[in-house]
Amino acid sequence: MKSPLLSVVVPVHNVEAYLADCLRSVAEQTLAAIEVVMVDDGSTDGSARIAAEFAARDSRFRLVRQQNAGLSAARNTGVRHTTPTVPYLAFADSDDIVVHDAYERMTASLESTGSDLATGNVWRLTGQGRQQAWQYRWLTGPRSRTHITRDPRLLADRVAWNKVFRRSFWDAHGFAFPEGRLYEDTPVMIPAHYLAGAVDVLAEHVYYWRVREGSITRRRTDVTGVRDRIAACEQVSAFLGGRDAEQRRAYDASCLRDDFGYFLDGLPMGGEAYRAAFLEGAGAFVDRAGPGALEGLPVELRIKWQLVRERRLAELLEVLAFERANGAGAFAVEGLPGRRRAAYPGVHGASARLAGPDIPAVARLSEARWGADGKLRLRGYAYLRNLPAASARQRLTVGMVRAERGRQVRPVPVRSVPAPEATVNSGQELHDYDHAGFEMTLDPDRLPATAGGGWLVGLVLAGPGTVRRVAVRAPDAGADQPLTHDLGDGRRAVLDFRAGRLRLTVSRLRALAEGHRTVEAAGSPLDITGRHIGGSRPTALVLTRDGGEERSYEVEYAEGGARGEGGARGEGGARGEGGARGGAFRVRV
């Protein structure tokens, strides 16, 4: 057997429903040169039997058994049982799944760049299917030999199982997971990012993280859980404090924005012991972090953490109750422009000064249709969040389209209309957005051609003391289907969404299928007719089955033009080489 290139540690504890899938995903990696150390951490179900069966039929797998000591202890045991001379090290949790070629891609990256660790994108796996893990939404492109000090977004990369480490780097710093505590990844992963000479970041997904909602709900109100999470953040903050004060402030802010928010939302469900533990630990964290850690947080979080700092539990619970009724980010706006404050009605002292980003704009498309005049009519609603839109006089709306590539901008007339659905869809009861509706008309003939791409549709919203530009987006993720319209003269318009933003693209077609009929008498089941519009004449129609089989059919022109087979291969369509232009064609399939 070829010497292993990678050691994989898999801690196992009472996961018999998921373990086989996890181990199979590791065994079937395209990188075959691996050793896998499974650590049974005192399982009381059938997990140990499943692991033993894998070890019996695959010599790359070994099973180590120990009394239950927790995830960290199992990982540390696994590392001790790996072969120290194997160049790379990885961890996989036993209820998750590793993407089939993840280890090959990550080790190949490290071999090429010499970096100390590679990390990759993550899918979130739930009962509803897979979703992009929110912690990695920022990861849209690969980065080789980067570092957390140059890309602070890596502060969100706090888990062990989407990574491959250079073993010499791991051993040189004596990394070990803290035993006897929950949330064990962060105190190792963030220091690893800082101590690494360079890090490779893969934008493609490497891991399926299984999220079991029942365990999350229980842990959210667990006294040990909240204490361990705060302790983990304090440990990392202390590590950064001796190295980079600016990075420490950024990390402290990320804990208040992300880590502790999870437990903050659990306060209404938690008992007295949980609430006391949260106020004690989180309050001490905020006291130590200082006011600078709150700067840049959304205003609703600034208010909550100020209440935590003042240990005002009753008012904090009232704010959380208001949010449950009106949604996160909903609040009242008090004061004149330039001196506005966010406040919660009926909650004394729960307010904070507003900054520019605290009043975002919302714009949603409700309806799109093409008129007989070839123009596109758009209807939707747009408002400045938490500012009134009970009448059209309370705001000014200007439509615009911007070239997807380049700097061209064109104004578009907008008419205000009622839109009671805006208030309903906002999910809150404090503000009236019933008159936030808009209608605009786009004329493709008046939009000049751009250097590739299309036109992004947006609005400029102005209210008292506030002006915002906003892209028009779909009302929800399931409503972003494209709308195609034939403009005639060989042109086609497509209204779709690019990265969630409404876009209109007008393109010129090379060929258009206009009809078909069966011609059994001629020995051909199907006769396709169409028109070649511009560009080089296609000489063949290539049809591709789902399984990959391709067949090429001759294109015949009415005036007896170019004929034969050729052209690039792909998924169907009339294509090929030739100098003649224009003309009707027929293809017998």
**Stretch 452-465: mean pLDDT, rounded?**
88
Average pLDDT, the chain: 88
Amino acid occupying residue 40: D
pLDDT of residue 393: 63
Topology classification of domain 361-508? Immunoglobulin-like (2.60.40)
Non-local (6+) Cβ contacts of 210 within 8 A are: 18, 95, 96, 97, 125, 126
Of the candidates 366, 338, 370, 365, the one whose C-alpha atom is nearest the C-alpha of residue 354 is: 338
pLDDT for residue 567 is more than 60: no
501: enclosing H helix or E strand: strand 501-508
- CATH 3.90.550.10 domain residues, the chain: 6-211
Predicted confidence band of residue 539 (pLDDT cuts 50, 70, 90): confident
Beta bridge partners of 492: 486, 507
pLDDT at 217: 43
* pLDDT tens, position by position, 322-360: 999 998 899 999 988 888 999 999 999 999 999 888 999
State the pLDDT at residue 256.
94
Kindly tell me if the per-residue pLDDT of 560 is higher than 60.
Answer: no
No. of H helices and E strands in the chain?
14, 30
How is residue 200 written in tokens? Answer: 């490779």
**Cα torsion at 459, 463, 467, 470 (round to 10°)?**
-30
The residue among 218 and 66 whose pLDDT is bigger is: 66
The CATH 2.60.40 portion of the chain extends over 361-508
> In this structure, which amino acid lies at residue 331?
F
Give the mean model confidence (pLDDT) for residues 526-547.
76
What is the C-alpha separation between 123 and 129, in angstroms, rounded? 10
Q: Which two tokens stand for residue 325?
A: 């009724």
Average pLDDT (451-476) is 87
CB 364 within 8 A of CB 327: no
Q: For 6-211, CATH number?
A: 3.90.550.10
pTM for the structure as a whole? 0.78
Least confident of 118-132, 190-204, 390-404, 490-504: 390-404
- CA 453 to CA 295: how far, in whole Å? 38
Distance CA 467, CA 470 (A): 10
For the stretch 247-290, pLDDT in tens is 899 999 999 998 898 889 889 999 999 999 999 999 999 999 99
| pLDDT band (50, 70, 90) for residue 562 | very low
Closest listed residue to residue 402, CA positions, set 468, 354, 471: 471
Among 289-298, 338-347, 537-546, name the one with the lowest average pLDDT: 537-546
Mean pLDDT of 222-246: 91
Contact 498, 509 (CB under 8 A): no
The per-residue pLDDT for 387 is 87
- Rounded to a whole number of angstroms, the distance between the first and last alpha carbons of the chain is 52
For residue 566, is pLDDT > 60?
no
Residue 4 has pLDDT above 50, yes or no: yes
The pLDDT of residue 478 is 59
Instruction: Check residue 337 and give its pLDDT.
Output: 81
Q: How far apart are CA 200 and CA 144, in angstroms?
A: 4
Residues 235 and 192 sit within 8 Å (Cβ to Cβ): no
Check residue 576 and give its pLDDT: 39
